[in-house]
Amino acid sequence: MSAPILAARGITLTLREKPGTFILEDVSLSLARGKIVGVVGGSGSGKTTLACTLLGFIPDAMCRQRGQVLWQGQDILAMDALALRRWRGACVSLSFQEASSAFDPVFTVGDQIVETIMAHGAHEGGGRARARERALSFLSLAGIDDPRRVERCYPHELSGGLRQRAMLAMALCTTPSVLVADEPTSSLDVTLQARLMELFRKLRRELDLSIVLIAHDLGMVRRLADELVILSRGRVVAPDHPDARALMSAGEM
């Protein structure tokens, strides 16, 4: 097997104010280039915490963290703050579970994507007009049929499903090698869910994107993922664990 592009090794997180409580306990995960690793678990099992750990977002003041997150074999926690900020976006992007928390309410969706593109130099020196073209192309890539309307909207003017796809466009517009998608389909109807799953397949195929796909629906993730990590109460469990079986959507048991 090829060396992982992103890996977590024995991640253990405890709250500093409650040293005996584990949020994650000895969690490991390994993502190879162009692959999809599914992370599945019930509510409160630690999925979002793991996503934040993978991007180095866990505040040291709040949690004691053991284990390592390795980017191409390098420990990301050894990077300085500036290098870590550049690494996020350029190499790894997170699409948040709550799309409304990813956008600033006082700027249009289009302006925020354009700013992200320009901050990372992803418009290849072409100026604002070039960045805007790129923003529109990523909005349509993310499955938005009328990108010119959506880019002029403020986040609150969009439906939950549109906001989620716009956030995905923002996460992808810097062409990272890895996307960590935290419950990307939770506010989409079944048809849009299927479209988004198809999009993930396409991104993997055409851009060689590696994806950590987080969800609570084991049946959906299993159709797409090359590997699965099942979380229960902060620990990795086997697929035949009772909590894992409970995560199958109705009719797939």
Ligand X SMILES: Nc1ncnc2c1ncn2[C@@H]1O[C@H](COP(=O)(O)OP(=O)(O)OP(=O)(O)O)[C@@H](O)[C@H]1O
For ligand X, the binding residue among 35, 47, 123, 204 (CB under 6 A) is: 47
10 contacts 28 by C-beta, under 8 angstroms: yes
CB 6 within 8 A of CB 93: no
Measured from the CB atom, the residue of 155 and 184 that comes closer to Mg ion is: 184
- Cα–Cα distance, 104 to 155 (Å, whole number): 8
Q: Which does 44 bind (CB under 5 to 8 A by kind): ligand X, Mg ion, none?
A: ligand X
- Residue 202's φ and ψ, nearest 5 degrees, are -65, -40
Smallest distance from ligand X to CB 66, Å: 16
Based on CB atoms, which residue is closest to ligand X, 10 or 44? Answer: 44
**Structural tokens at position 201:** 């397949």
Q: Which stretch binds ligand X (CB under 6 A): 36-44, 74-82, 190-198, 243-251?
A: 36-44
- Per rule CB under 6 A, is residue 121 in the interface with ligand X? no
Pick from 135, 216, 220, 236: which binds ligand X (CB under 6 A)? 216
Residue 83 CB coordination number (10 Å): 11
∠ CA(48), CA(55), CA(78), 5° rounding? 140
- Sheet strands (E) in 53-174: 63-71, 74-75, 92-95
Only one residue has tokens 């009328």, namely 146
Site string for ligand X, 16-35 (x = CB under 6 A): -------x------------
110 binds ligand X (CB under 6 A): no
Residue 41 near residue 247 (C-beta atoms within 8 A)? yes
Q: Which amino acid is at 60?
A: D
Q: Which residues of 173-193 are buried (b: 16+ CB within 10 A; e: fewer)?
A: bbbbbbbbbbbbbbbbeeebb
Residue 246 in contact with ligand X, rule: CB under 6 A: no
- Interaction partner, residue 46 (ligand X, Mg ion, none; CB < 5-8 Å by kind): ligand X
Asked if residue 97 binds ligand X (CB under 6 A), the reply is yes
* Residue closer to ligand X, measured from CB, 48 or 68: 48
Burial 18-37 (b: 16+ CB within 10 A, else e): eeeebbbbebebbbbbbbbb
Among 3, 15, 83, 246, contact with ligand X (rule: CB under 6 A): 15
207 vs 13, 55, 104, 175, 203, CA distance in Å?
Answer: 33, 21, 28, 8, 5
User: Which is nearer to Mg ion, 12 or 48 (by Cβ)?
Assistant: 48
Does 187 participate in binding ligand X (rule CB under 6 A)? no
Examine residue 186 and tell whether it contacts Mg ion (CB under 5 A). no
State which residue, 140 or 186, has the beta carbon closest to ligand X: 186
Q: Choose the stretch contacting Mg ion; rule: CB under 5 A; options: 93-101, 136-144, 156-164, 244-252.
A: 93-101
Q: Smaller CB distance to Mg ion: residue 97 or 193?
A: 97
| Radius of gyration for the chain, computed over Cα atoms and rounded to the nearest angstrom | 18
Binding site for ligand X (CB under 6 A): 15, 23, 41, 43-49, 97, 216
Binding site for Mg ion (CB under 5 A): 47-48, 97
